[in-house]
Structure 1
Amino acid sequence: MSTAIVLPGLRAWAEQHLQAIIQATTKDAFTDAFNAFLFKDVKITVNAKAVTREEYEKELRAQAFDEAGAEVTFSGAVEVQQTLEKGVVGLFFTATIVQNELIQGTPKQSQITSSLNLVIEDVIPRPPNPLGVHGFFDGRRVTELNQVVIDTPSQ
């Protein structure tokens, strides 16, 4: 029996990491998910405007702040895999975000609709394992992100 850990494909990897960011309900969970998704020197474009990693993080935090929960639905995806660790993924998704804030007794909601194109590469070096210990490590991160997004408050 093999004990090798199999990494998810790029499409599954991107969907899982994006869901973790959008569905994070604590600051620590958001920070961990964000850092596991984006490379520190990522190149980001949102709605045809270049933004820094810090600006993108701030914008995503503002959308997720005081979040009670979120549901993410992927309605389309394409993947061009160069290797298991490198390739391009395009995602189209809708996220419904439910806030803790109540308006006339009903939780405030917003809906995010987005197209996201990602360049994913294995850019984090594997740390040394202690002798005889094998563990899961995934050094893949998004190195380029191009997003078209609209955030619509629900009525």
Structure 2
Amino acid sequence: MALVLPTLSAFTSSRLTAILTAKTQADFTAAFDALFARNVNVVYNGKQLSREQYQAQLLGQSSAAAEEQGANVSLQGQLEIPGNEGQLSGVVGLFYTSLVDSKFLVFGAPAESKLTSSFNAIIQATEPRPPSNPRIRGYFDPRRIVTVNQNATEQALQVTIPHSSIKPTTPGVTTKNFALPQGPFGAPFGPGPVRLGPTETNPVSETFPGDGEFGAPPVMIPGETIGEDTNTKA
């Protein structure tokens, strides 16, 4: 019974997803070696990279990076063109997005970034078949990516502030007014202001001799005479 290999697009998408969602660097390295040839030719965002440089680039975008804690890859579109050897070689194009959660917290929630990428690869059967070993089970896939041209852009997503961190200072927020307790003299800080009656708040002006030019008039005491007493003279 002949073994049927996964399609070129399934092979590429599954192994690329394994690279970006690897939890440890050991898993990441194993997944990277299972997808890319030893002498892979890489162009990333128009710049030529070595295999080691490209590996470091993808590591920074994966959940195996030191500052990341998880990645969720979503495949948006795919295209494959088989070569002369059927599914053993051909061209694959993928368009995917990856949401990466950081280990750093902002307002108690992980910071998140979104990577949008187009991934175009040429695949060939480059790996020699290993010696048969009855202890090893599973199929052998000799295919690897020999050329990749990837364009990617990354953006930080807006952090959602939990409602518990927002104080009700915006218009429309209902607040409750509490009455202050009354003290023995009225308000809690003593009696209120003294209120005068109408007769005291609107006094009638008094007129003095000289219209106050020489000061206040003398005090008039009943039974006494102001000035010189003529009756005491002889």
**2:130 equivalent to 1:127:** yes
| Partner of residue 71, structure 1 | 72
Q: Distance in 2 between matches of 1:153 and 1:35?
A: 29
Aligned AA (2:52)? E
- Could you say which structure has the higher strand fraction? 1
| Partner of residue 13, structure 2 | 15
Contact 1:119 1:144 survives alignment (8 Å)? yes
Q: Distance in 2 between matches of 1:13 and 1:142?
A: 10
**2:143 equivalent to 1:140:** yes
**2:113 equivalent to 1:110:** yes
Structure 1 length-normalised TM:
0.92
Percent of aligned pairs sharing the same letter: 38
**2:150 equivalent to 1:152:** no
Contact 1:94 1:114 survives alignment (8 Å)? yes
SS at match of 1:126: coil
Structure 2 length-normalised TM:
0.62
The CA deviation at 1:133 is 7.3
Unaligned 5+ segments in structure 1 are: none
Aligned AA (2:81)? V
| Partner of residue 33, structure 1 | 31
**2:99 equivalent to 1:101:** no
Q: Distance in 2 between matches of 1:37 and 1:71?
A: 19
Structure 1 moving runs of 4+ over 2 Å: 130-135
RMSD of aligned alpha carbons: 1.7
Q: Distance in 2 between matches of 1:67 and 1:138?
A: 30
CA shift in 2, pair 1:129/1:100, >3 Å:
same
Unaligned 5+ segments in structure 2 are: 159-234
CA shift in 2, pair 1:5/1:68, >3 Å:
farther
Aligned AA (1:47)? N
The CA deviation at 1:126 is 0.4
Aligned AA (1:126)? R
The CA deviation at 1:59 is 1.4
